[in-house]
Amino acid sequence: MSKPIMPPALATTDDTQVLNPIADDQGPSNERRALLIKIIVDHHLSGSTAKLKLVDVAERMGISRQALDRYYGDLKPYIAGKRDVADLVNGNALKVQIQTQTVVNDIEIKYQQKIERLRKDHERELEKSLSTHITSLMNGDLVLLESNKMRIALEKQTLHNAELLKQIQALELKLALSMGMSASHTSGLAIPTQNKLAFDLDIETLCMAHQRGTSLEQFEMAKSSEIRKIRDKLDKYEGTPNVHLILFADRYISRFRKFVDNYTSLRNELSLIVRLPLFSRIEFQNFLKPLSPKFKRSLYIPYSNSDSEKKAQRVFIYQKFPLPPTEIKGADNADTPNIAWGFDEVVFYKIKQGD
């Protein structure tokens, strides 16, 4: 089914502080209100059909359910999906992205419902046909008839599902193109539309949760879960032509969003750019194995030969939500990638100040 394209980082992404739980009588906070809006917008853009739960939102914000009701009750309709999330954000590009994602979500739900109706109709028709012929057919003929009908029905269902997936992928590509056109219009520059989609693993949120008390094991499990979700999204592009898979081997010394902004895709290809904090050969190969072999695969690794520069970059980027020490050690001692791992190209590039 359809999965979202990760958006450009919201203004709150790099300014969100680690918030400690507050008492219900401490009153509202602009900082927490910004975090709540970020949670709502990120959930909408994720394409998830599951509804946000107030208790989960309150836990992520570090406040009680009662405090959420008391101080941020005006945002509850957005949490429940009853009001347009686009009203919460500024900037035409982000509003267009949210509105387009809403259209994609609505169409996906419609197709899911249609598939379910077709499945139930098929079961009813098959049962009706079997009941009609059961008195006149021998057991062998009955088995043959049933298997043939099921084969035909499944073939039709498979073709129909494939067509629906193509339509959803086309909508996703249209969303990406609309984002590119919006960005071009906003900046006033006559730049060509970029056919690139970014898949960002939100390691910052995982670090925030770890600082609030989650164990290292829970951190690793959450990280693995997010990586699997990204891989499932990439798998939906199996039937899309000219896909170029760009893996950003995050070593926590440069910003993924900066890399995405600087990357220029070719006009005849769709670039899927993935933030991938993996450190060993087997981890990369396990990630690549289920993906289509038709994808062109490139790996980009940020590089610095200065330990002091690495440390300074990490302090600058992750000062509000420090990485677990084991994560930093894994990045610094990562295996050196090469073509034999399953890539078409491997690129090491030296980071610059500001990356």
Q: Categorize the per-residue pLDDT at 57 as very low, low, confident or very high, splitting at 50, 70 and 90.
A: confident
Q: Categorize the per-residue pLDDT at 6 as very low, low, confident or very high, splitting at 50, 70 and 90.
A: very low
Q: Please give the Cα distance from 53 to 89 (Å, whole number).
A: 21
Residues 197-228 pLDDT 10s: 999 998 999 999 998 888 999 999 999 999 99
pLDDT of residue 346: 97
Mean pLDDT (whole number) for 314-332 = 92
Mean pLDDT (whole number) for 224-251 = 94
Residue ranges of alpha helices (H) inside the chain are 30-45, 54-61, 65-71, 76-79, 92-133, 139-187, 203-211, 216-235, 256-262, 281-288, 307-318, 325-332
Residue 180 Cα distances to 10, 107, 313, angstroms: 16, 22, 29
pLDDT of residue 150: 79
Q: Please give the Cα distance from 40 to 36 (Å, whole number).
A: 6
pLDDT of residue 227: 96
Of the two residues 346 and 87, the one the predictor is more confident about is: 346
Predicted TM-score (pTM) of the model is 0.50
Q: Please give the Cα distance from 84 to 78 (Å, whole number).
A: 7
The answer to which of 19-28, 121-130, 254-263 has the lowest mean pLDDT is: 19-28
Residue 245 Cα distances to 21, 201, 254, 289, angstroms: 40, 15, 20, 13
